[in-house]
Amino acid sequence: MLTIIKNRVTQLVVVLFILSLFTFTLMKMAPGDPVLTILNADEMVVTEEDQAELRKKLGFDQPLYIQYGKWMFNLVQLDLGKSYMSGKPVTEELLTRIPITAELTFFAMTIMLCITVPLGVWSAKYVNKWPDQFSRILALIGASIPNFWLGLILIYLFAFKLGVLPSSGIGSYSQIILPAFTLGFTFAVVYARLLRAGLLQSLSEDYIYAARARGVKEWRILWLHAFRAAVLPVLTIFGLSLGSFLGGAVVVEILFSWPGLGSLAVDAIFNRDYPVIQGYVLLTGVFVVLTNLLVDLSYYVIDPRMKRKEEAL
């Protein structure tokens, strides 16, 4: 287990380095800089001189490798720089937004689990019968409708037509339901199909027949024997798709004015707030790599055969 962790930490450093180099270059290649936005040229008299001065102050007149070098040098000292727009340290900006997104993600995942597990089990139990068809249709819908559209439909239904939930905002539990459902649903129905496939596979294994022959109760077979094996592929895909989960959160956060990491990233991109964009990308990178590590480690807990394999090596 320790070897894995050590390997993964090295991997993390390499991934983050490549990621930062890549985003830094791409960002600088993209047109636009934050100068006119910072100077608020749409409202205030701004001269070319003012622009040049600010560009110099921000170090944009220096060659790209020096700009990157400086940023890297600061990063090694755990300094992500300051946001051009708010003037606050990027670390502070990120730290204030993380709990907000984490709250949304937590509820979205809870909703996701509440849908995935019963739906997956149900459709595996009734293969090719109507519950299975129903879950297939749901999966098709989930995979094809965009997040923002589902969000708008839900707002239309629950906020406008029924008037039981607020359309947006943050602060009370009632405000979490719609964004968390929007985010969780699309993933849930797709994962339910994966779980169903996994369950069908493991239900056809010999040890299940053996268990049945021993007279083990059906619910025990399903939940303790088959489910455990079936959940592994779901976990893998979940780890891999965490990136898209965060990506989906961006859209949902804008729609429901949820001031988390996603909306911070979107604002930063629109304003070309380079330090914040870099900070966000790095954080997302760390997060994705760590989650994958956790997923891998969870294999050992869920499936003891893995541990034995490692011991054999």
Partner 1 sequence: MKNYKNILVGMLCLVLVFIAGCSTTQNSSEKQEEKEKKVNMIFSFKAANLDPHTGFIPIRAGLTETLLKLDDKSNIEGWLAEKWETADNEKWVFEIRDDVKFQDGKKLDAESVKQSLERSIEANESLGDSLKIKSMEADGQLLTIHTTEPYPALPSELVNPYTSIVNMEAAKKDGEEAFKNNPIGTGPFKVKEFKSNQFVEVEKNKDYWAGEPKLDSAKIKFNEDANVRALALQSKEADVVYNLPAESLDTIEKDNKLRVESIPGLRAHFILYNSQSKNVKDLKVRQALDLLIDRKSVVNDIMLGHGLEANGPFNSTLPFGLDEEVSELNVEKAKSLLTQAGYKENAGGLMEKDGKPLTLELVTYKARPELPLIAQLLQSDAGKAGIKIDIKTVENADTHLVENKDWDLATYSNNTSPRGDGSYFFNTAFTETGALNVGMINIPELNTLIEKLNRTTDLDERTKLTQDASKVINKEVAHSYAVYPNIIIGMNKRIVNWEPTAEEYYILTHNMDVK
| Binding residues vs partner 1 (CB under 8 A) | 30-33, 36, 38-51, 54, 85-86, 96, 114, 118, 121-122, 125, 152, 155-156, 159-160, 163-174, 177, 218-219, 254-257, 259, 263
155: closest CA among 130, 174, 132, 128? 174
- Closer CB to partner 1, 131 or 247, in the complex: 131
DSSP reduced 3-state for 78: coil
Cα-based torsion angle of the residue sequence 113, 116, 118, 121 in order, rounded to the nearest 10 degrees: -130
Considering the complex, what minimum distance in angstroms separates the CB of residue 22 from partner 1?
Answer: 19
- Closer CB to partner 1, 118 or 146, in the complex: 118
- Closer CB to partner 1, 40 or 144, in the complex: 40
Considering the complex, what minimum distance in angstroms separates the CB of residue 295 from partner 1?
Answer: 25
- Closer CB to partner 1, 135 or 292, in the complex: 135
Q: Token pair of 211, please?
A: 């268990």
Say if CB 142 and CB 189 are below 8 A apart: yes
- Closer CB to partner 1, 160 or 311, in the complex: 160
Long-range contacts from 149-157, C-beta under 8 angstroms, 24+ separation: 150/182, 150/185, 150/186, 151/178, 151/179, 151/182, 151/251, 151/252, 151/255, 151/256, 152/255, 154/178, 154/181, 154/182, 155/255
Considering the complex, what minimum distance in angstroms separates the CB of residue 310 from partner 1?
Answer: 35
Considering the complex, what minimum distance in angstroms separates the CB of residue 306 from partner 1?
Answer: 28
- Closer CB to partner 1, 168 or 291, in the complex: 168
- Closer CB to partner 1, 262 or 285, in the complex: 262
Considering the complex, what minimum distance in angstroms separates the CB of residue 78 from partner 1?
Answer: 23
Considering the complex, what minimum distance in angstroms separates the CB of residue 209 from partner 1?
Answer: 19
168 to 106, 171, 177, 266: CA distances (angstroms)? 18, 10, 10, 18
Q: For residues 295 and 306, what is the distance between their CA atoms, to the nearest angstrom?
A: 13
41 to 28, 46, 184: CA distances (angstroms)? 21, 6, 41
Considering the complex, what minimum distance in angstroms separates the CB of residue 191 from partner 1?
Answer: 16
Q: What's the residue count for the chain?
A: 313
Say if CB 20 and CB 72 are below 8 A apart: yes
